[in-house]
Chain A
């Protein structure tokens, strides 16, 4: 079953066609990677799906619903969570509080309920806390719960960001270069983690530079170059694709 369908998607910034007529689909429960050299339009593609940019042309549908041009918070509300290439922690909040924000769309207390701390609000708050600790635990950083997120080590911040995205209980998780800045051990760790995330029933779309990681864990790979899709297949085939080799290694 298709969970995400990208149809002839295009994004133009002035004279630059950052994403050009890209189409692909994503099967429920799959891990799909988007690769390509720097400036290929990978992050732009991500931002289009997450609603941070509005496409110039084309369509994106998630679970059969058109989402192109939808504001990010609405996209999140539909069940698409994301992480960022350069980690974006909520400064001044603990790791646990960061993850608790991830429960935002799964809870509903408003201004008045919060101010008067209604019994429903208190119950919900407790559930948010319990659930958020579970996600921190899932990522093995429960002992960092009360540390200010910005004081954590880089790898731990990445884990908090992942826990925060998982706390949304998304159907689709967008990971923007999850292995950036990690050493080979940490990268292997992240790879195992992504596989575990898929086992939770979450579909994963990732942008990544690290070829070994991508080849290890992806079911399918989309290759972009100068905004265009030049290949889409299973890892072993993409690896041998002459055009992909040309793009990555030069002629």
Chain B
């Protein structure tokens, strides 16, 4: 675990920020930081797909929406009218349902969040598999096109179907009890624990992805990126590895969707829009593609600013502009610009040139 000491400063920063907000009486910042952490969960997964498997997806908001919407629909639609029907009786027998009261105080019977979460993730996994099989056997940017189509379809489905609340989306989503005493919920009293839950999930995800990158699988992915023919000649099944990475990133997105929906208590169709997918791609690009730290930092900073309304009504335009700017001026990501070099141009910080040795 020695290599994971890298995470100590991050954990320290996470705790420091929480203490700082408590001290300065600005705990409300934690809400956006929690939401940013969930968006960043999607972004680090997308980073591995884009940076290491070299595939661009313009449909990750679709996977996020699949996670969020399935979870929201299953945990809010009342099954009491169907209580006598076989599927519902079966679910009851299996312990997949939970009771409660709706806002009018009427009895409620819904799927438990854990089961809904599993169904949501499994759905994302299967769709990624079906979408990826034919597409990833082709070379080039076919995945970008196919996922763009997929994203549009998901957006239209959630917008048009009554089950998913049409333009209003779904609200009144209950909290998600991870373990007894730990609830994913936007309720004020749960704000601090939820900040830590989100960060724990995010850091855990980054740990797993870093393991992956520094393993046989990660090497194979980087090899595909470095020289597809040579990777093929070394026995790497390139299509399979690309497909599995795509599925993995889809699962991360769906999980982010599930958790953020329970945290927000609802989800709307804007979460499924293609503009959101473009935003995620832009953030990974700013972070430097094959750079999980860059993706993490940029994911946190840009989402936080966006959620705080920093970009005003130009929000989407800003992300479009970022994408264009990065592609033109810093295709290796913003961290590659070596700001240190600019810094040293200022006389005060200029390094002393080492004296040339006389021969």
Contacts and interface: CB of A to CB of B under 8 A. Distances in A.
Tell me, yes or no, whether A binds B. yes
A109 B218 CA distance: 11
B216 A114 contact: yes
B237 A89 contact: no
A203 to B, nearest CB: 17
A73 to B, nearest CB: 5
Interface in B184-232: 208-209, 211-212, 215-220, 222-223, 225-227, 229-232
A101 B211 contact: no
Interface string A54-92: 000000000000000001110011000110100011111
Interface stretch (A35-43, A120-128, A240-248): A120-128
Nearest to B209: A115
A125 B218 CA distance: 12
Contacts of A84: 229-230, 233
Contact of A110 (B211, B217, B233): B217
B208 A76 contact: no
B248 interface: yes
B230 A93 contact: no
Interface in A86-111: 88-93, 97, 100-105, 107-111
Given A72-B233, A76-B234, A114 B226 contact: no
Given A90-B226, A92-B225, A116-B208, A50 B233 contact: yes
A81 B212 CA distance: 26
Contact of B234 (A92, A101, A116, A124): A101
A52 interface: yes
Contacts of B31: none
A114 B215 contact: yes
A164 B234 contact: yes
A82 B233 contact: yes
B222 A114 contact: no
Contacts of A115: 208-209, 211-212, 215
B81 interface: no
Interface residues on B, range: 20 to 34
A172 to B, nearest CB: 13
A180 B217 CA distance: 32
B238 interface: yes
A104 B216 contact: yes
Contact of A90 (B212, B231, B235): B231
A84 B50 CA distance: 27
B215 A91 contact: no
A72 B208 CA distance: 30
A81 B244 contact: no
Contacts of B211: 114-117
A91 B234 CA distance: 15
Given A104-B220, A128-B216, A76 B233 contact: yes
Given A52-B233, A117-B211, 9 more contacts: A52-B232, A71-B232, A84-B230, A89-B230, A93-B219, A109-B216, A109-B217, A114-B212, A121-B216
